[in-house]
Amino acid sequence: MSAARRRPLSFSAFVMNTASHITHGLWRDPAGGQIDFNSLDLWVDLAKQLEAGGFDVIFFADVVGVYGGYRGGWAHHAELGLQIPSNDPLVILSALASHTEHLGLAFTAGPIQEPPFNFARRVATLDHASNGRIAWNIVTSVLENAWRNFGHDSRLAHDSRYQLAEEYVDVLYKLWEGSWEDDALRADRASGIYADPSKIHKINHVSDNYRVEGPFLVSPSPQRTPLLFQAGSSPAGRNFAARNAEAQFIVSPDPDNARKLIDDTRGLVAGHGRNPDDLRFFQGLSFVIGSSEAEARAKEAELEEKIDVDGMIAHFGGSLGVDLGEYEPDTPIDVIHTEGGQSGLAWLRESAGGRTPTLEDVVRLRAKNTRVVGTPEQIADALWRWRDAGVDGINVVNSTIPGSYTEFIEYVLPVLRERGLARKRYEPGTLRAKLFGSDRLSARHPAARYRGAFRPAAALS
């Protein structure tokens, strides 16, 4: 294992501003505080707890449409609270920024939601307000309903969505990195010059889907470009991450499969002229913690009883745009053909150990294969193996809020720190500085080519 791989893991709290996010049905548990997701106090208190406990990031998932039908429609989703109702995470982050100092603040959004100029402005404003702690998880919006909510007749094909995302981020890079030179902002009371117009530039972007003149209205924020996350393990998704992302969320079923995925993707990163270590990998895991293995297994059995099985199947099928309520439990997933999210199908095939998985496997594998059960010491042993496989961070999935994070902070993180698997204190500076040692995107990143690119020709000679 390289020296880079021996660094402490980073930890992200995977949440959503909704009642039922990943582990469905747990809002009904008396400990399921996520039933009160509309309360700002819930998120402020959680963010404070995560920062006191040493988490690196609170990461908000999001959707902008209802999932595909289950048993003929979407009524089941509303009854379960399966990501409906849900709220805009970007609004919540502005409040969390004012109550925290070090915690990274990540949100999810895609190109269909907002024109690039206004999106760039809102994100840069948040990066200023948080002193450089904003991260953006770039998604391509797999839900058919989401596309119709934003005026489209139907969802674009899978690979076409990533082509649109490439075009979208190109506009953003020009605004964030190229429109303002580093010393354009003067704020000089003596001269009366607030900003030097000769160092602020229009970008005049014209492409198939976007026309943006500029200049950008926001002066350079601490990170300029937010830290860039991405999730998606399809070939198109991995290639997009290899070119653009600084961190990728993965859900490999075990360390061996994670190692293969990470090694292959790092090769793609190098193919785009970047250092393989320019992209970090966060594995999604949930935890059941006990003072003994027997206690942990008993708690897992109790958890299994509380999980809404229909919800797990409906969520998976809805993300694919397929009504899995129409299939028998022993139906092989190879009958499913979809332009929806393909990472989930790939994950199931990996999880099934070479055989063709069935619909019944959706519940068994998705609930258990990325769940770590045991004592804090056993969990530390497991996380050591994930780190050895090349994983850089853990995206901690909750069953209840705040309980899942309270237990992890109280019982697991002290053991991880003793073993060098978690850092002991925050590094100063922006989120990118904490993770990569620099406030700004690497010069190897494609956005870097726009630094200085819009200066008048005379200034470049």
Q: Are the C-beta atoms of 313 and 132 separated by less than 8 Å?
A: no
Correct CATH for 4-455 of 3.60.20.10, 3.10.450.630, 3.20.20.30, 3.40.50.300: 3.20.20.30
**CA–CA distance, 256 with 389 (Å, rounded to integer):** 7
Q: Are the C-beta atoms of 39 and 85 separated by less than 8 Å?
A: no
Q: Is the model's pLDDT at 263 over the cut of 70?
A: yes
> Backbone dihedral region of 221: left (phi > 0), alpha (psi from -120 to 50 degrees) or beta?
beta
- Which residue is associated with the tokens 């949100």? 107
Q: Is the model's pLDDT at 103 over the cut of 80?
A: yes
pLDDT tens-digit series, residues 298-330: 999 999 999 988 888 888 888 777 788 877 767
Terminal alpha carbon distance of the chain? 47
Strand, coil or helix: 43 = helix
Q: Is the model's pLDDT at 343 over the cut of 70?
A: no
Q: Is the model's pLDDT at 95 over the cut of 70?
A: yes
The helix (run of H) or strand (run of E) holding residue 265 is helix 255-271
pLDDT tens-digit series, residues 111-136: 999 999 999 999 999 999 999 999 99
Neighbours of 186 (CB within 10 A): 14
Could you give phi then psi for residue 233, rounded to 5 degrees? -115, 10
> Quick one: what percent of the chain has pLDDT higher than 70?
91
**CA–CA distance, 12 with 56 (Å, rounded to integer):** 6
pLDDT value for 336: 61
3-state DSSP helix/strand/coil % of the chain, to nearest 5? 45, 15, 40
Query: Per-residue confidence at 349, pLDDT binned at 50, 70, 90?
Result: low
Neighbours of 259 (CB within 10 A): 17
Q: Are the C-beta atoms of 182 and 451 separated by less than 8 Å?
A: no
pLDDT value for 457: 72
Range in 44-58, 352-366, 371-385 the model is least confident about: 352-366
- Computed over every residue of the chain, the mean pLDDT equals 91
pLDDT tens-digit series, residues 171-227: 999 999 999 999 999 999 999 999 999 999 999 999 999 999 999 999 999 999 999
Q: Are the C-beta atoms of 236 and 158 separated by less than 8 Å?
A: yes
The residues that bridge with 188 in the sheet, in sequence order, are: 193
Which tokens belong to 417?
A: 């720190």
User: Mean pLDDT, to the nearest integer, of 64-83?
Assistant: 90
**CA–CA distance, 251 with 370 (Å, rounded to integer):** 7
pLDDT value for 460: 46
pLDDT tens-digit series, residues 381-395: 999 999 999 999 999
- Read out DSSP for 309-350? HHHHHHHHHHHHT--GGGS-TT-BGGG---SS--HHHHHHHH
**CA–CA distance, 3 with 21 (Å, rounded to integer):** 36
pLDDT value for 461: 35
Burial letters 398-421, b for 16+ CB under 10 A, else e? bbbbbbbbebbbebbbebbbeeeb
pLDDT value for 350: 60
pLDDT value for 3: 47
User: Mean pLDDT, to the nearest integer, of 416-438?
Assistant: 97
**Domain limits, the chain:** 4-455
Q: Is the model's pLDDT at 366 over the cut of 70?
A: no
pLDDT value for 388: 97
Q: Is the model's pLDDT at 338 over the cut of 60?
A: no
